[in-house]
């Protein structure tokens, strides 16, 4: 409590205008070479700073006063310091504060010290030839969200390194039925990118399991996902994904710190890195929010993302609560990262988690999407239109009880790429179309509740229609791991700290729900071959059916349990029906029709030459 009061008092005293005159533009952190390491951190006011080095047993082996220079403290330690633990101490107004380096690229498991790391040395075989995924049109991406731990903790999945980065590198992994699972399964599904839930150092908050949205250090891979060497093993994961043609997206949480009072930022320069006056503002809902608009915070975020892109070959970033970051910072991020990787994929949550003092016009929220044309936003309007409001478990959407005009319009906007005048974008490349992510109920659990525990046939039909609406839309397609085989989290709406029996991916469901898995695979294949086939299309509503047409392609969305016959005769190749989906014709019929509830896509071939 005393520390909290002290730090908040420091917030009252700080003169932000004066601090912004004392910034530093150079390189910070532990700058390693085999001959020497330069330790450097920014602190324009403290009277004194110390560098302290420790061996692997946490025994202090060196201590030296650092030199002040250009608003930073610096010390050059000769010799090879690789593997040494280190921290900093500052004396200001008679008080000492000890903290780990915010720029550390590796940290101890408890987050109290950084580890000097030779990034050139900790590389897997083939790393020198590893490359980014390569050019892919942003809106054609198919993203698969997965937690590193969830991926391999299921007792029916034969992974050797459960819960670890390198589980993604294991080959020929099977479930209990002998089906291939793991990274090869994801690749064969047709996915273009895997989005890893937070993989950088976080506080587990006393739980064995945690999603990772409790950030402590933003450049250091989490030790909880490592066997021995987190830097090396994360690089192995990325290298293996790239060899299979999969991009890797990191879910990054720059919007807040787990414990602001204990964060390296706050101990380094109290009152500067986080928003607030007499108290920390709480736009994150986690007790604090970073001041992304301040020079040295902007610098850190830019430095961090450039480091991760260059050193880990990460193909894109998903920004948690992106609305707490300011538009100018996001513009700089996009501009800087495209210099490194022109195809980098950038997107995030276009909202905040609470009230923020950052002015609305400055936030990277959906309402300001037009100011960020190269950055995508999650389309919650599409999500809620399809399955109902995520904050009301019984609320229904288009596929589960409300197939009306009002619910169809947001869906049609994504399918056609024609957005209303008051929508936040006119560019489908900025939309992430999804119905399920790690937050809230899984789609299966939502449908089970909202459909009043309806039978499996009804739920499967709604699941299939949801999937078809995602993959037939223009814009980025996104789904959570296991959505394609009816993943359940036992009706938990927020499983961030629940045990593996709730969160782990149940790989045996691949066999049990193979019909739906194959349906997803077929939809993704169709999307890749005919992406945007219904862009700029028109529709008409007929007795609970929505008929869309573009050139020779037709889509019927049948929301009834009755057959729907059109008056279109001829030869029609069916690619998608209520049971199956493919990028090749399933069969040919003389009439355009839909058997019952489901989505039909067919192409008229009479006029083909």
Active site residues: 320, 349
Please state the separation of Cα 205 from the chain's center in Å: 21
**Which backbone phi and psi does 140 adopt, to 5 degrees?**
-95, 5
Length of the chain as a residue count: 609
Query: What is the distance between the alpha carbons of residues 422 and 432, in angstroms, rounded to a whole number?
Result: 18
**Which backbone phi and psi does 162 adopt, to 5 degrees?**
-60, 135
Query: Which tokens in the block code for residue 80?
Result: 């090879």
Specify whether the backbone of 544 is left (phi greater than 0), alpha (psi in -120 to 50) or beta: left
DSSP 507: T
Q: Which residues lie below 8 Å from residue 59, measured CB to CB, with a gap of 6+?
A: none
Reduced to 3 states, what is the DSSP secondary structure of residue 107? strand
Query: What is the distance between the alpha carbons of residues 470 and 465, in angstroms, rounded to a whole number?
Result: 9
Q: Is 455 exposed, middle or buried (0-12, 13-18, 19+ CB in 10 A)?
A: exposed
Number of helices (H) and strands (E) in the chain: give both, helices first: 15, 23
DSSP 125: T
Which is nearest to 511 in space by CA: 177, 98, 140? Answer: 177
Q: Which residues lie below 8 Å from residue 225, measured CB to CB, with a gap of 6+?
A: 148, 149, 163, 164, 165, 199, 233, 234
Which is nearest to 485 in space by CA: 248, 97, 144, 251? Answer: 144
One-character DSSP codes across 532-581: TTTTT-EEEEETTEEEEEETTEEEEEE-SSS-EEEEEEEEEEEEE-SS-B
SS3 sequence, 272-299? CCECECCCECCCCCCCCCECCCCHHHHH
Query: Which tokens in the block code for residue 595?
Result: 């058997």
**Which backbone phi and psi does 501 adopt, to 5 degrees?**
-65, -25
Query: What is the distance between the alpha carbons of residues 591 and 600, in angstroms, rounded to a whole number?
Result: 12
């Amino acid at each position: 409590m005393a520390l909290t009061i002290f730090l908040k008092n420091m917030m009252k005293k700080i003169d932000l205008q004066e601090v912004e005159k004392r910034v530093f533009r150079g390189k910070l952190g532990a700058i390693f070479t085999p001959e020497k390491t330069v330790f450097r951190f920014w602190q324009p006011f403290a009277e004194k700073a110390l560098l302290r080095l420790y061996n692997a047993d946490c025994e202090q082996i060196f201590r030296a006063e650092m030199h002040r220079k250009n608003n930073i403290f610096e010390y050059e330690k000769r010799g090879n310091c690789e593997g040494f633990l280190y921290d900093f101490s500052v004396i200001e107004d008679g008080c000492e504060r000890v903290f780990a380096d915010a720029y550390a690229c590796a940290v101890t498991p408890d987050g109290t010290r950084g580890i000097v790391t030779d990034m050139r040395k900790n590389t897997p075989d083939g790393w020198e030839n590893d490359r980014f995924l390569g050019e892919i049109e942003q809106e054609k991406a198919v993203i698969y969200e997965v937690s590193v731990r969830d991926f391999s903790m299921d007792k029916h999945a034969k992974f050797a390194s459960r819960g670890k980065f390198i589980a993604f590198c294991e080959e020929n992994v099977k479930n209990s039925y002998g089906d291939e699972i793991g990274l090869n399964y994801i690749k064969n599904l047709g996915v273009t990118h895997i989005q890893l839930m937070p993989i950088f150092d976080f506080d587990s908050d006393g739980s064995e399991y945690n999603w990772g949205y409790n950030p402590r250090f933003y450049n250091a891979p989490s030790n909880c996902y490592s066997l021995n060497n987190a830097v090396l093993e994360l690089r192995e994961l990325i290298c293996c994904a790239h060899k299979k043609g999969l991009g890797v997206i990191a879910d990054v949480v720059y919007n807040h710190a787990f414990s602001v009072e204990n964060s390296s930022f706050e101990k380094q320069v109290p009152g500067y890195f986080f928003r607030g006056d007499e108290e920390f503002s709480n736009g994150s809902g986690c007790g604090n929010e970073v001041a992304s608009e301040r020079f040295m915070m902007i610098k850190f975020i830019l430095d961090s993302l450039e480091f991760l892109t260059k050193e880990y070959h990460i193909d894109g970033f998903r920004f948690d609560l992106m609305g707490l970051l300011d538009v100018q910072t996001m513009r700089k991020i996009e501009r800087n990262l495209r210099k490194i990787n022109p195809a980098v994929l950038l997107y995030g949550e276009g909202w905040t988690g609470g009230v923020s003092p950052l002015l609305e016009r400055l936030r990277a929220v959906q309402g300001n999407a037009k100011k960020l044309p190269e950055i995508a936003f999650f389309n919650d309007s599409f999500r809620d239109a399809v399955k109902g409001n995520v904050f009301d478990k019984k609320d229904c959407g288009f596929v589960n009880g409300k197939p009306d005009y009002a619910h169809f319009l947001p869906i049609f906007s994504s399918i056609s790429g024609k957005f209303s005048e008051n929508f936040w974008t006119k560019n489908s490349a900025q939309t992430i179309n999804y119905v399920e992510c790690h937050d809230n109920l899984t789609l299966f659990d939502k449908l089970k509740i909202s459909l009043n525990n309806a039978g499996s046939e009804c739920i499967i039909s709604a699941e299939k229609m949801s999937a078809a609406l995602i993959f037939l839309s223009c814009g980025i397609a996104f789904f959570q791991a296991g959505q394609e085989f009816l993943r359940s989290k036992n009706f938990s709406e927020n499983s961030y700290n629940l045990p593996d029996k709730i969160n782990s991916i149940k790989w045996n469901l691949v066999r049990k729900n193979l019909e739906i898995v194959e349906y997803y695979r077929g939809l993704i294949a169709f999307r890749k071959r005919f992406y945007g086939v219904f862009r700029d299309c028109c529709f008409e509503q007929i007795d609970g059916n929505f008929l869309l047409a573009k050139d020779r392609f037709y889509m019927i969305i049948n929301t009834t349990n009755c057959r729907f016959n059109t008056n279109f005769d001829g030869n029609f190749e069916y690619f998608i029906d209520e049971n199956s989906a493919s990028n090749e014709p399933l069969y040919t019929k003389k009439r355009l029709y839909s058997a019952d509830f489901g989505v039909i896509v067919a192409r008229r071939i009479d006029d083909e030459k």
